[in-house]
Amino acid sequence: MAFQTIAGPSSGTGSGVFPTLVFVQGNEQRVINLDHSPFGVGRKVDKDLVIADPRVSRDHALIVSENGVFSVVDQGSKHGTFVNGERVERKTLERNDRLEFGVREVAYVIFNPQHGTTNSAREFLSQISGMHISDETTDLEKLVLFLEAARKLNTIGVLDEILMTLLDVTLKLTRAERAYVYMKNEHGELRLAAGRNAKGEPLLDDKTISHSILDDALKSNSEFVLTDTSRSADLTGRKSIVAYDLRTVICVPLRKPQVHATRDAEAPGVAMSAEVMGALYVDSRFASRDISGVSNDILHAIATEAASLIENARLVQAEEAGRRYQQELAIAASIQQRLMAVTIPEVPFAKLAGRNLSCKEIGGDFFDAVNTDEGLTIVLADVSGKGVSAALLASTLQGMIYSQLTAGMPLTEIVTAVNRFFTDKNIGEKYATVIIARVRDNGDVEYVNCGHILPLVVSNGEVQRPAHGNLPVGLLPDAKYLSDHCQLKPGDRLILVTDGVTEAENARGDFFEDSRLELAAKTGTLEQIFTAISNFCGGTPLNDDCTVVELMYTGS
């Protein structure tokens, strides 16, 4: 085994000089510095990396360095050497390459993983473990070590790792036997967050600690509580101290770091009353592990640094959670877009085009087109509100309408069913304006308008607005829906828009309005309508999605 011993804090994390190998076997993970070449891997006990598995050959492979370039060389192994799943004889290694030796999946090695991953915390952890604190190390040097550790940890965003490392460092510095971190939950109760013993083993059970000292430490205003049970007679009455023969207990309340630490420094009493977010508890059971001599400097450093470490870690964690949430939203948005993507049906009697101009947020507009024996049906809907909730409803609405259209349901029955669904489900003040228009090859249009902007029919350069309408869907459970008809001649255009178009605002706060829409629709195509909107708005961003659908009836 070639664990490099770190001489002191100045040598950095190690991986800057030598690449590292992270060896993973089951739940175990170990960081190895690749500080010499060749580096042997095999089942033989004298190998630099010994993998005790019959599928690993005795002399399995070498990792060699030539001019700073690392390669893995198979030594004629029976079950092969693999890099990223591919069997190799010799292969130059890149960062994050996954190496497997005969035994697949069960044990593998990652070559020189990037920093900033959880591995760096583990790597650092293992190096702390490899750190030797001699008896000659002064308290000041210990403090430097600790601060160094704290500084490095600040770059790592995993709370659990930080807690574990904090415990290891604390154990190292205090030479105590066991260490625990407690964190307050949302109800203000202390809960065990992590525990370690001096051997680096996790401690999951806190029954044998002195909870009374823990409680005392939290209630007291002191920075830390150091209790030597052999010297205080009044402590002998405490249950756990007697039962478990606890010799020395150190308890450090972790207080939320104050934002104006420098100003508060003048009034330490104020700083001390800062919110307690948890506690660090360290104890030793045996006389041989007397930790009562731990210097106050170190305890002071632990008390202040540990709290700010955890607070930092929590902030990073919250940021990470926020980032993941954003990612999820982006995925949702892309699914939404794919659902909303319309394949425009080809029909001999009409040409259809639709375009959506989205504002920044995910919106609730959608348009769909379905061709059935009854004719070409176009749907345009606008769910009230914006954001994810609107998008979710829009998807549901689209699915319902689409399936009922393909099933050949009458338009009025479709919107009645949708209205019933929305009001039954009691989604709160969410509703949708919907217009569904079915165009037959003879130019007959049946439309049902549920609170939507009136459609435009452009015929011989004149704009008509078929005015029949109903209540929006989703507002009132007993709403009745009726449809109406209009007639298209060859060359006529039917245009449907959402209110994002008529309510597009310019810098003065004026709306695009129906008048400008009618003017643009009278002469212009779909693209020209959008040009008119963007000319009108100037640089003013859209408040709402703008969707325009245009059907040109060409005749049968």
Partner 1 sequence: MSLKIETRQAEGVTILSPQGRIVFGEEAAAFREHLKRVLGSTRQIVVNLSGVSYIDSGGLGTLVGVYSSARAGGADIKLTGLGQRLRDVLQITKLVTVFEVYDSEQEAIASFHRGAA
Per CB under 8 A, residues contacting partner 1 are: 382, 384-386, 428-431, 433, 451-454, 469-472, 475-476, 499, 503, 543-544
Q: Which residue's CB is nearer to partner 1, number 352 or number 497?
A: 497
In this structure, the number of other CB atoms found within 10 A of the CB of residue 394 comes to 23
Q: Which residue's CB is nearer to partner 1, number 240 or number 502?
A: 502
Q: Are 350 and 489 in contact (CB under 8 A)?
A: no
Q: Residue 15 class from Cβ within 10 Å (0-12 exposed, 13-18 middle, 19+ buried)? A: buried
Distances in Å between the alpha carbon of 317 and those of 86, 168, 294? Answer: 36, 21, 32
- Minimum CB separation of residue 457 from partner 1 in Å reads 16
Q: What is the C-alpha separation between 384 and 390, in angstroms, rounded?
A: 7
Q: What is the C-alpha separation between 103 and 292, in angstroms, rounded?
A: 49
- Minimum CB separation of residue 419 from partner 1 in Å reads 13
In this structure, the number of other CB atoms found within 10 A of the CB of residue 456 comes to 23
Give me 481's structure tokens: 């829906």
Q: Which residue's CB is nearer to partner 1, number 169 or number 456?
A: 456
Q: Which residue's CB is nearer to partner 1, number 66 or number 429?
A: 429
- Minimum CB separation of residue 437 from partner 1 in Å reads 16
Could you tell me which of 460, 384, 410, 408 has the C-alpha nearest to residue 397?
384
Q: What is the C-alpha separation between 424 and 482, in angstroms, rounded?
A: 20
Q: Which residue's CB is nearer to partner 1, number 108 or number 511?
A: 511
Q: Which residue's CB is nearer to partner 1, number 19 or number 451?
A: 451
- Minimum CB separation of residue 476 from partner 1 in Å reads 7
Q: What is the C-alpha separation between 152 and 140, in angstroms, rounded?
A: 18
Q: Which residue's CB is nearer to partner 1, number 283 or number 382?
A: 382
- Where would I find the beta strands (DSSP E) of 26-135? 28-33, 39-42, 49-50, 61-66, 69-74, 81-83, 86-88, 90-92, 98-101, 107-111
Q: Which residue's CB is nearer to partner 1, number 31 or number 494?
A: 494
Q: Which residue's CB is nearer to partner 1, number 283 or number 544?
A: 544
- Minimum CB separation of residue 183 from partner 1 in Å reads 34
Q: Which residue's CB is nearer to partner 1, number 443 or number 500?
A: 500
- Minimum CB separation of residue 387 from partner 1 in Å reads 9
Q: Which residue's CB is nearer to partner 1, number 331 or number 476?
A: 476
Q: What is the C-alpha separation between 210 and 283, in angstroms, rounded?
A: 9
- Minimum CB separation of residue 492 from partner 1 in Å reads 22
Distances in Å between the alpha carbon of 112 and those of 12, 106, 109? Answer: 16, 19, 9
- Minimum CB separation of residue 461 from partner 1 in Å reads 25
Q: Which residue's CB is nearer to partner 1, number 452 or number 493?
A: 452
Q: Residue 119 class from Cβ within 10 Å (0-12 exposed, 13-18 middle, 19+ buried)? A: buried
Question: DSSP character for 361?
Answer: S
- Where would I find the beta strands (DSSP E) of 271-401? 276-284, 350-357, 365-372, 375-383
Q: Which residue type occupies 535?
A: N
- Minimum CB separation of residue 110 from partner 1 in Å reads 47
Q: What is the C-alpha separation between 554 and 482, in angstroms, rounded?
A: 27
In this structure, the number of other CB atoms found within 10 A of the CB of residue 368 comes to 23
Q: What is the C-alpha separation between 367 and 497, in angstroms, rounded?
A: 10
- Minimum CB separation of residue 504 from partner 1 in Å reads 13
In this structure, the number of other CB atoms found within 10 A of the CB of residue 446 comes to 19
- Minimum CB separation of residue 469 from partner 1 in Å reads 5
Q: What is the C-alpha separation between 43 and 37, in angstroms, rounded?
A: 18
- Minimum CB separation of residue 291 from partner 1 in Å reads 55
